[in-house]
Amino acid sequence: MPLLSKQLSELVLAGVSGAQADGVIPSFELPEGIHLTRPKRREWGDYSTALPLQLAKLIELSPVVIANHIQDYLPKRGMIAHSTVSEPGFLNVTLSSDWLCSQVTRVISEGSSFADIDLYSNQNAQVEFVSANPTGPLTVGHGRGGVLGDTLSNLLGAVGYRVTREFYYNNAGQQMRKLGESLKVRYMQSLGMTVQLLEDHYQGEYLTSLGADLVEHYSDSLLDEGWETFKDLAEEDISAKQHRTLRKLNIVMDVLYNEHSLYEDGSIDKVVNKLRHDKLAYDKDGAVWLAVKELGGSDDRVIVKSTGEPTYRLPDIAYHCNKMERNFDLVIDVLGADHKDAFPDVILGVKAMGYKADRIKMLMHQFVNIKGERMSKRSGNFISLDDLIDEVGADVVRFFMLMRASESHLEFDIDLARDQSDKNPVYYVQYAHARICSILEKASLAGYSFMDAQLGGLVHPSERMLMRNLLELSDTIDRAVREMAPHYLVTYVRDLASSFHAFYGDCRVLDDDDIPLTFARLNLIRAVRIGLARALDLLGVSAPETM
């Protein structure tokens, strides 16, 4: 089924074309689509476009005159009941009640796939997200990136992509040596030995616990082992715990990619050698520099330090070259704001290696601030992602992480997250779904059958609003994918829940004095239940039947 906005856009543009054909409006190239908004006043209609105001800049006619001409030539289709023109030149359309009812029937018939869009059915997408160093527990910031990446992956699947979720381990370099050394110190301390961590070692209590576990399993048999052995033990333990945390958020990765493999298979050397060959890398002050200015960027960057250790940019270039070789049609990196400056240099490096990097997109997210009363902190002053999930639940964490645009700082209100009332947006939305389930169960116990029910007579403003909001899921999915903005889905499901609660307050669903209307309203809420459940599923949030 075409997008609602696309169908309306085509009708309005057909009106423009008809007016042009009769010479009422001068000829010019029509846009591919138009922008639709809600009218300022409900009585003006369901949707509004400022196209006449935009066209007035091209032709010597007033916007109101243009709007009236377009209105005169609007195709007489069942989708539109009527249209109006409002100052200073808006064209407003009202959807037909019969058409709205027919679409509700379609939703029930098609089920959870009713809003899916088959645009990219033969294309592959890769979304890389979280990609935490295997040096400690996942943070709340990792949680935001994880929820963004997983929800975006769900949305990409809804428009037809075959999606690969990928986690990139930064398991190379000096950080891994420090991790191994830190664990060995904790292990030795657990054996009762007097030894201290260095200032640049990892200080977290999670290594103290792991050190004690190693003593329990191995006694003192690891004392002669070097930092490499302890690095491997720490990485295995920490990585396993990271993925257990992600599974609590309903996040499961398809691919785990190790940075270390880029050194083992020669990918790092290949990048340096090619850049040198093409005079895009040079030596200076004992370091190797990437000629970013030569590639069109701002400042040249060090890719190998004077110590011989690569900076993040070099393995990232090699890793993204690997992504290109895997022939993904779309590659999305979900990265924290601290990666913002390095990402353009990586893309320039990938281009310098001969790949078309326009397939690579970045979804950047800002930091999370925890607000509210002091929550339980099992890790001292550090609030881990596990702590947060245990405190408020996975559904709330996922929903709250998506309530603002990714590029905006997020204030996570613990007190609101704990609240079990309509003030909590997660509770508010889930309760709408549970309430519908309760009504349908009551109807079933009362003997109502849905087999031959007809949909019609739904003309109350609250019914119309509910139907219209339900049908906007496809447009929401489309926009969220195009703009890589999963938060639009949260806005959608909150609006749908709100319109359902308003409908429930205004319209009696089970009415023994009007059986046809009862059947129509029961089918309407069946469709709304499908829409709520589908949107929540895309968000990775449960849709409870009872609350």
Measured at the alpha carbon of residue 498, what is the angle toward residues 497 and 503, in degrees to the nearest 5? 95
**pLDDT on residue 447:** 86
| Among candidate residues 175, 322, 309, 335, the one with its CA nearest the CA of residue 262 | 322
**Domain annotation covers residue 207:** yes
pLDDT tens string 272-328: 999 999 999 999 999 999 999 999 999 999 999 999 999 999 999 999 999 999 999
Helix, strand or coil for residue 128? Answer: strand
Rg of the chain (C-alpha set): 29
Q: Indicate the average pLDDT of the chain.
A: 94
In a shared domain, residues 265 and 234: no
Structure tokens at 189: 């301390």
In a shared domain, residues 150 and 281: yes
Helix, strand or coil for residue 341? Answer: coil
**pLDDT on residue 373:** 59
Choose the final residue of a domain: 365, 396, 430.
365
**Domain containing residue 283:** 124-170+253-365
**pLDDT on residue 450:** 65
pLDDT tens string 20-42: 999 999 998 888 889 999 998 88
CB atoms within 10 A of CB 111: 11
**pLDDT on residue 2:** 75
**Domain annotation covers residue 381:** no
Structure tokens at 176: 């891994």
In a shared domain, residues 286 and 233: no
Structure tokens at 58: 């091209």
Contacts of 81 (CB under 8 A, 6+ apart): 94, 95, 96, 97
**pLDDT on residue 380:** 40
In a shared domain, residues 272 and 232: no
Q: What is the CATH number of the domain that holds 154?
A: 3.40.50.620
Gap between the Cα atoms of 284 and 288, Å rounded = 6
Residue bearing tokens 């110190």: 185
Structure tokens at 170: 């930064």
In a shared domain, residues 29 and 137: no
**Domain annotation covers residue 391:** no
Cβ proximity of 299 and 293 under 8 Å? yes
**Domain annotation covers residue 385:** no
pLDDT tens string 391-407: 999 999 999 999 999 99
**pLDDT on residue 453:** 59
In a shared domain, residues 145 and 265: yes
pLDDT class for 1, splitting at 50, 70, 90? Answer: low
H helical segments located in 56-172: 63-72, 97-110, 140-158
**pLDDT on residue 382:** 59
pLDDT mean over 489-508: 98
Give me the number of domains the chain comprises: 4
In a shared domain, residues 161 and 281: yes
Structure tokens at 68: 């009236």
Q: Do β-strands 287-290 and 301-304 pair in parallel, antiparallel, or remain unpaired? A: antiparallel
**Domain annotation covers residue 180:** yes
pLDDT tens string 337-374: 988 889 999 999 999 999 999 999 999 999 999 987 54
Q: What is the CATH number of the domain that holds 17?
A: 3.30.1360.70
**pLDDT on residue 42:** 85
Amino acid symbol at 419: D
pLDDT mean over 509-527: 92
**Domain annotation covers residue 12:** yes
Chain Cα centroid distance, residue 410: 15
Peptide bond into 134 cis (omega under 30): no
In a shared domain, residues 152 and 277: yes
pLDDT mean over 197-201: 93
Gap between the Cα atoms of 141 and 365, Å rounded = 9
In a shared domain, residues 107 and 81: no
pLDDT tens string 415-438: 999 999 999 999 999 999 999 999
In a shared domain, residues 268 and 150: yes
Residue 107 has pLDDT above 80, yes or no: yes
Residue 379 has pLDDT above 80, yes or no: no
pLDDT class for 378, splitting at 50, 70, 90? Answer: very low
> What are the C-alpha distances in Å from 188 to residues 87, 216, 243?
79, 12, 28
Q: Strand (E) positions, 311-409?
A: 330-336, 360-365, 368-371
Residue 375 has pLDDT above 70, yes or no: no
Cβ proximity of 367 and 337 under 8 Å? yes
Residue 57 has pLDDT above 90, yes or no: no
pLDDT mean over 481-499: 98
**pLDDT on residue 451:** 58
pLDDT class for 16, splitting at 50, 70, 90? Answer: very high
Gap between the Cα atoms of 79 and 93, Å rounded = 10
**Domain annotation covers residue 496:** yes
In a shared domain, residues 144 and 157: yes
**pLDDT on residue 172:** 84
**pLDDT on residue 452:** 55
**Domain annotation covers residue 373:** no
In a shared domain, residues 293 and 310: yes
